[in-house]
């Protein structure tokens, strides 16, 4: 009789490895001279979002842990640890069966998207296989096969996309690169395009209250991406992408190893110079784009210290607006230049069990300029970030204390000038800001585990903000209970705050002729987030599946309210300045993943959003109106199907997205109060030949587009002109093609 192995055994290895990639094997010792690899064993760093599974040879390769020290965990259903050893730098686990079985049927499979039942936080991990199901040209497109993160257009003229999570705009999600700041400040609107998809090895999506160690800005959760490491098996990777509209992208990854020094070089170039106006509204459907992007990382290892250094540079020019030679032109021009230097340093203390320290630093210079017709924006950001983390055991390994200091420092200059198109050399400055934000902080986080059933992570940080001369307390707690080896129940709660750069956060709203007004004395945004989650792994007809359901609520104490409820007016104000100030978001989601038959995987998801905010009101609405968040779909659904043949050299992927109705702010050119629901279908076929992957795909198969996305497009000087009220695609069916070449060491 065949049995499915279903008992979870966790083995701890006390190993400080913050600054290195760990390679090893999980093996079963059948006899003294015979061993066999274990396929699909879980290998992960305890209480982090970093993990992997063993391949068909029992081999795992796991990125460095985000903080020191790191406890490496191995779990496999029905097995327990027998011994462990280090051979030539590889960490080998030997496991043995803990069950008396007549016959054992062991199955292992590395899925492209998985929910954790082990981590105290509610974590979903996406890997390279998930990204390769779609075009994935940049980070914003890495979530098109995922239901947790919604991808939407910024406006109808820039071609950029933004994300939403838990019913909130992406500015309320902390987005990091290997737990260093990635998108914050002036990069909030276009920062998702700064990271090409082929640079990214995996993404961890954390819902709700995250760790206080990573900062104070996580309202709805955290998205952390991991780049490919110098330890990866590929010495050369090249990706060429093109689409039928004339856009070309090139991506290159190189690995160099020289003794204790290892290095990655990432390079990206994309180009689009074809004017396309399929809906004949006189505006380009896609802007003309030139994009250069590079990232170089170095790693150094010795007995007592591990170092990593990152250098990153980005230049992009976007030109959109009206087609050439139109009588009444409207120019859109967006320029971003960014330079960033970062480091991660780990100090090992092998003589002191459980004790270690790590230092993270990041320095950034970002020059951002944009023109939307008569509206000109200029911004400059200089930022510094330091995070010192210490870790120690409290009596035993099940009690881990982390504590440290952090510093955020930002110098931001930005202004908006409105020019008279008839006399473009003269303009009126309508907003100007030159500020320096200094935010030192102290934090502490405690992890405790009771047996294999219950764990809790509680944290507290206090951050001082020089502008308000106040300390902001950020408590957070995450609890997990495992009623059995395949089920996890989580409860979380926590507070967050951020300094709003409300102009750059909402730069797409300048693509209109709205009169802009500002409140006084803008305060930091503060909110509480609460959530509950259930994750269950199951077997049906000897096939593995996952069921996940969660509910999260966010309540704002203060928020910068962006009011576009009255045609021709754009108003920014504190929520606290509105009578009866209320702003909240409720998000409910259910996910099911299951292998229907051999090599045919299915993911289903359904989500409901309920988000409302108080507005001051005006000619359209009563004073202090509580309204649904505009342009936010009330519900969404997703079906993703993936199939590969027996040899795994033909891959077929299809994703159907249903987007429900959303409320539209009043405009005399739009008759409806709500948008119509619609569907988007994306498909891709991949053929693998030796070291090459050839792929072809279609985005927006049904060619659904928003009718009249640019209001009064033939009169861009009128008060009715508006290109910012977008709830559906502005471009139709898109055919793309490409190849990937991978050369292993």
> Of 110, 137, 166, which residue is a domain's last?
110
Give the span between the Cα atoms of 613 and 169, in whole angstroms. Answer: 13
Residue 118 forms part of a structural domain: no
pLDDT for 322-338, tens place per residue?
998 788 899 999 999 99
Which pLDDT belongs to residue 494?
97
- Of 66, 86, 110, the domain-final residue: 110
Q: Please tell me whether residues 209 and 325 are part of one structural domain.
A: yes
Model-wide pTM > 0.95: no
Q: Which of 92, 113, 129, 99 minimizes the C-alpha distance to 15?
A: 92
| 138 shares a domain with 37 | no
- 72 and 153 inside one domain: no
Verify that 131 and 89 share a domain, yes or no.
Answer: no
Provide Rg for the chain, Cα atoms: 26
Residue 96 — very low, low, confident or very high, per pLDDT cuts 50/70/90?
low
Q: Is residue 151 situated within a structural domain?
A: yes
Specify whether 152 is located in the same domain as 25. no
pLDDT-based confidence at residue 97 (cuts at 50, 70, 90): low
Q: What's the mean pLDDT in 632-653?
A: 95
State whether 70 and 165 are in the same domain.
no
pLDDT digits (tens, 9 = 90+) for 370-406: 999 999 999 999 999 999 999 888 877 778 899 999 9
User: Are 341 and 266 members of one domain?
Assistant: yes
pLDDT reading at 573 higher than 70: yes
Mean pLDDT of the chain: 87
Measured between alpha carbons, how far is residue 485 from residues 117, 123, 499 in Å?
A: 8, 17, 42
CATH number at residue 210: 2.40.170.20
Chain Cα centroid distance, residue 284: 29
User: Are 480 and 508 in a shared domain?
Assistant: yes
* pLDDT tens by residue, 498-519: 999 999 999 999 999 999 999 8
Query: How many structural domains does the chain have?
Result: 2
Looking at the structure, do residues 98 and 138 belong to the same domain, yes or no?
no
Q: Is residue 628, in this structure, part of any structural domain at all?
A: yes
Give the CA distances from residue 346 to residues 68, 360, 566, in Å, rounded to whole numbers and listed in that order. Answer: 7, 9, 53
Give CA–CA dist 379/357, Å, rounded: 36
Tell me the residue range of the domain where 691 lies.
123-744
How many angstroms separate the CA atoms of 368 and 338, rounded?
8
What is the pLDDT, as a whole number, of residue 301? 80
The pLDDT tens digits for 12-41 are 333 333 335 677 888 876 555 557 677 767
611, 632 contact by CB (below 8 A): yes
Contact 713, 281 (CB under 8 A): yes
Is 705 inside a domain boundary? yes
The pLDDT tens digits for 654-708 are 999 999 999 999 999 999 999 999 999 999 999 999 999 999 999 999 999 999 9
In whole angstroms, what is the distance from residue 273 CA to residue 6 CA? 56
The verdict on residue 115 lying in a domain is no
Q: How far apart are CA 659 and CA 673, in angstroms?
A: 16
- CATH code: domain of residue 72: 2.60.40
Give yes or no: residues 91 and 145 share one domain. no
Is 116 part of a structural domain of the chain? no
Mean pLDDT of 239-260: 92
Please tell me whether residues 89 and 148 are part of one structural domain. no
Helix H segments across 59-206?
A: 128-131
Instruction: Examine the domain organization and report whether 99 and 136 are in the same domain.
Output: no
Helix count and strand count (H, E) for the chain:
2, 46
Residue 451 lies inside a defined structural domain of this protein: yes
């Amino acid at each position: 009789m065949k049995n499915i192995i279903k008992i979870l055994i966790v083995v701890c290895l006390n190993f400080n490895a913050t600054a290195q990639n760990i390679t090893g094997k999980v093996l079963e010792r059948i006899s003294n001279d015979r061993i066999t690899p274990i396929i699909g064993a879980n290998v992960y760093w305890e209480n982090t979002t970093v993990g992997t599974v063993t391949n068909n040879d029992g081999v795992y390769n796991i990125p460095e842990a985000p903080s020191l020290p790191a406890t490496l965990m191995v779990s496999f259903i029905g097995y327990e640890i027998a011994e462990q050893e280090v051979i030539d730098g590889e960490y080998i686990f030997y496991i043995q069966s803990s069950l008396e079985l007549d016959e054992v049927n062991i199955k292992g499979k590395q899925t492209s998207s998985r929910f954790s039942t082990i981590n105290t936080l509610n974590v979903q991990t996406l890997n390279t296989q998930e990204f390769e199901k779609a075009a994935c040209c940049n980070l914003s497109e890495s979530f098109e096969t995922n239901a947790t993160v919604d991808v939407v257009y910024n406006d109808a003229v820039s071609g950029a996309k933004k994300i939403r999570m838990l019913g909130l705009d992406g500015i309320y999600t902390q987005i990091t690169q290997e737990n260093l700041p990635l998108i914050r400040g002036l990069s909030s609107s276009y920062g998702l395009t700064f990271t090409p998809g082929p640079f990214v090895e995996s993404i961890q999506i954390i819902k709700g209250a995250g760790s206080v160690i990573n900062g104070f800005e996580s309202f709805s959760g955290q998205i952390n991406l991991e780049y490919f490491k110098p330890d990866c098996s590929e010495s050369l990777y090249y990706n060429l992408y093109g689409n039928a509209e004339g856009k070309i992208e090139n991506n290159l990854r190189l690995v160099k190893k020289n003794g204790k020094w290892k290095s990655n070089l990432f390079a990206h170039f994309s180009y689009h110079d074809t004017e396309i106006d399929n809906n004949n509204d006189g505006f380009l459907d896609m802007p003309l784009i030139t994009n250069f992007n590079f990232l170089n990382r170095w790693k150094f290892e010795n007995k007592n210290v591990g170092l990593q250094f990152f250098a990153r540079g980005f230049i992009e020019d976007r030109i959109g607006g009206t087609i050439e030679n139109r009588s009444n032109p409207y120019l859109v021009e967006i320029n971003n230049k960014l330079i960033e230097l970062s480091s991660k340093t780990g100090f090992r203390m092998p003589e002191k069990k459980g004790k270690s320290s790590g230092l993270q630093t990041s320095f950034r210079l970002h020059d951002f300029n944009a023109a939307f017709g008569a509206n000109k924006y200029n911004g400059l950001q200089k930022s510094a970030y330091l995070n010192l983390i210490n870790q120690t055991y409290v009596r035993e390994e099940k009690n881990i204390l982390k504590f440290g200091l952090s510093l955020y420092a930002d110098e931001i200059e930005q202004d908006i000038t409105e020019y008279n198109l008839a006399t473009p050399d003269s303009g009126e400055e309508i907003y100007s800001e030159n500020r320096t934000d200094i935010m030192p902080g102290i934090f502490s986080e405690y992890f405790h585990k009771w047996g294999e059933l219950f764990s809790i992570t509680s944290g507290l940080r206090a951050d001082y903000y020089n502008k308000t001369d106040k300390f902001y307390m950020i408590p957070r707690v995450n609890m997990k209970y495992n009623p059995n080896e395949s089920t996890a129940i989580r409860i979380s709660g926590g507070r967050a705050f951020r300094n709003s750069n409300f102009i750059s956060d909402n730069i797409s709203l300048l693509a209109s002729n709205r009169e802009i007004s500002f409140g006084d004395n803008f305060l930091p945004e503060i909110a509480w987030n609460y959530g509950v989650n259930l994750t269950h792994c199951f077997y049906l007809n000897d096939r593995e599946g996952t069921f996940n359901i969660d509910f999260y609520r966010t309540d704002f104490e203060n928020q910068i309210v962006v009011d576009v409820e009255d045609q021709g007016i754009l108003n920014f104000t504190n929520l606290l300045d509105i009578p009866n100030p209320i702003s909240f978001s409720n998000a409910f989601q259910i996910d099911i993943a299951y292998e229907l038959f051999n090599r045919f995987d299915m993911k289903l998801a359904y989500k409901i959003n309920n988000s409302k905010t108080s507005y001051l009101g005006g000619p359209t609405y009563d004073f202090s109106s509580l309204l649904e968040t505009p342009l936010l779909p009330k519900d969404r659904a997703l079906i993703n199907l993936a199939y590969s043949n027996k040899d795994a050299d033909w891959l077929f992927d299809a994703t159907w997205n249903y987007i429900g109705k959303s409320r539209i702010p009043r405009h005399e050119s739009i008759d409806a109060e709500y948008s119509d629901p619609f569907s988007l279908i994306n498909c891709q076929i991949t053929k693998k030949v030796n070291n090459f992957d050839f792929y072809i795909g279609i985005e927006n198969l049904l060619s659904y587009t928003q009718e009249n996305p640019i209001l009064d497009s033939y009169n861009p000087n009128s008060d009715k002109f508006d290109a910012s009220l977008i709830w559906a695609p502005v471009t139709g069916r898109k055919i793309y093609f490409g190849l990937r070449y991978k050369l292993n060491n």
